[in-house]
Structure 1
Amino acid sequence: MTVVFVHGLGQQAASWDKTKEALSGSADIFTPDLWELSAGSEVTYDHLYDVFSDYCQSLSGKVHLCGLSLGGVLALHYGLEHPEKAASLTLIATQYQMPKTLLKCQNIFFRLLPGKLFEQMGLTKKEVIGLTRSMMDLNFKQRLSEINVPVAVVCGEKDTANKKAAAELARLIPHAELSMVPRAGHEVNEAAPQQLAALLDGFILRRAQVSLNRSAAR
């Protein structure tokens, strides 16, 4: 079983370390660094999706994708474009239709911050602003009914900016499961790694067993 963890904006691959440590069972776990994948090219959403898609396609067999925020958007996009490759999706604090007003306000705020604060992201301030600007027109709402793989929608109980979108994702995606993580904010993988790992164990491992049973029955 192959699991790919996809970090959010402002995070790095290491943001999943505590979650990985708390997982039970055996799996081939991959945590790509999005900024390393896109290094050397203009940081736009389209380019980021292309290199992420190529990365997933290079892995053997089907993949269970688990993404947070920007990582969740990439996982959702990939699941829509490659249903034959995605085994399941876990979408944490994920928007399916970009909130333009929020992104514009966020970019205004980013412009006021010193450039050094962005260095820990692995991007420059200009790249972060350019990336968020390139995402403004993303809207997957009309395609959510196409998803035919198991989906877990996850949101921190205190993540007020994404709770509504989480509920809508769970409603619009066939057979999706919604889980709220108590006392957690936006970055569930860092704030509540053990709770998230327990949720993933229950969701991914259960789905993997269903797939094995189906294969054995053929």
Structure 2
Amino acid sequence: MQLVLLHGMGQTAASWQETILNLPNEWQIHCPELFKTEEASTYNQLYEEFVKECEKYPAPFHLGGISLGAVMACQYAIQYPKKVKSLLLIAVQLKPPPYLLKFQQFIFSLLPKSYFEKHNLNKEQLLLLCRSLKNLNLKTNLQQIQCPAIAICGEKDYVNQQASKEFIKALVKAQYAVIEQAGHEVNIEKPMELAIVIKRFLKEASRKNEIRKEIP
């Protein structure tokens, strides 16, 4: 089982650690760092670096992400449908609303320098990233996704629930799961509960992929 998990904005690859501890040891799980340098980066630059990173992994693989990572995972599944076995999107925004991006920029402007140093980031990098997301829109190309998919959202993550529901409406066979008592950072707040959902979904997705192989 090859699984690639992408962290969110303000997180690192280590943010998946507790979730991974609750997943089967035999799974080969890859968690690339999306912010590799302190240089300011736009969304497109980060995405292109991620595409290059994916060349290291045996394809097709299962792909998942949270928040910013979910956006990248969704775009990758649209652009490279044959390389993705299944898609797990946590707190995804297909077209980030302007008010949300402005709110994130406001929050980042208030955070101390120590916060950014802890996550190998800088304030200018995140502010530029937020601005570069304003024209992103994945809604029009969702039909390119060919694999089993699931949208996952925290029960208290009210901002992203609507976008998650829009995703499953666009893909008729997509699933939807809510993690109880969780907010936005499900992988940190409820890693065990998230792992249960991931295991159940990937078991179903793997079975569907096997059935698809048998069809002439």
TM-score w.r.t. the length of structure 2 is: 0.94
Equivalent pairs counted in the alignment come to 216
Any idea what SS the aligned residue of 1:153 has? Answer: strand
The percentage of aligned residue pairs carrying the same residue is 37
Is residue 144 of structure 1 aligned with residue 142 of structure 2?
A: yes
Measured against aligned partners, the alpha-carbon deviations of 1:139-168 in whole angstroms (never above 9, x if no partner) come to 111111222111110000001111111111
C-alpha spacing 1:41/1:203, structure 2 compared with 1 (3 Å): same
- Tell me by how many angstroms 1:124 deviates: 0.4
Secondary structure (helix, strand or coil) at the match of 1:104 reads: helix
User: Could you list the runs of 5+ residues in structure 1 that have no partner in the other structure?
Assistant: none
Task: Give 3-state SS (helix, strand or coil) of 2:3's partner.
Answer: strand
Question: Which of 128, 143, 156 is 1:158 aligned to?
Answer: 156
Contact kept, 8 Å, 1:147 with 1:174, in 2: the verdict is no
| 2:139 counterpart of 1:135 | no
CA gap 1:128/1:78 in 2 versus in 1, 3 angstroms: same
1:81-114 CA distance string (max 9 Å, x none)? 0001011110000100011122123213322333
- Structure 2 match to 1:209: 207
Q: Is the 8 A contact 1:150 1:207 kept in 2?
A: yes
Q: CA deviation at 1:11?
A: 0.8
Contact 2:38 2:121 in 1 (8 A): no
Residue 192 to residue 113, structure 1, CA distance change in 2 (3 Å): closer
Match in the other structure for 1:5: 5
Using the alignment, how far apart are the partners of 1:148 and 1:166 within structure 2?
18
Amino acid at match of 1:187: E
| Residue 216 of structure 1: how far off its partner (Å) | 5.0
Q: Deviations over 1:52-106 (max 9, x none)?
A: 0111133122111110000000000100000010111100001000111221232
Aligned pair partner of 1:86 in 58, 79, 84: 84
CA positional deviation for 1:212: 2.8
SS of residue paired to 2:82: coil
Q: 1:205 deviation in Å? A: 2.0
* Residues 79 and 147, structure 1, Cα contact 8 Å, conserved in 2: yes
Aligned to 1:31: 31
Shift of 1:41: 5.1
Which has the higher mean CA deviation after the structures are superposed, 205-214 or 164-173? 205-214
The one-letter amino acid paired with 1:159 is D
Q: Which residue of 1 aligns with 2:109?
A: 111
2:181 pairs, out of 177, 180, 183, with 183
- For 2:78 and 2:209, the matched residues in 1 are separated by 19
Structure-1 separation of matches of 2:28 and 2:57: 10
TM-score, structure 1 normalization: 0.93
Offset, 1:217: 5.9
**Is the 2:8–2:67 contact (alpha carbons within 8 Å) kept by the matching residues of 1?**
yes
Match of 1:70 in 2: 68
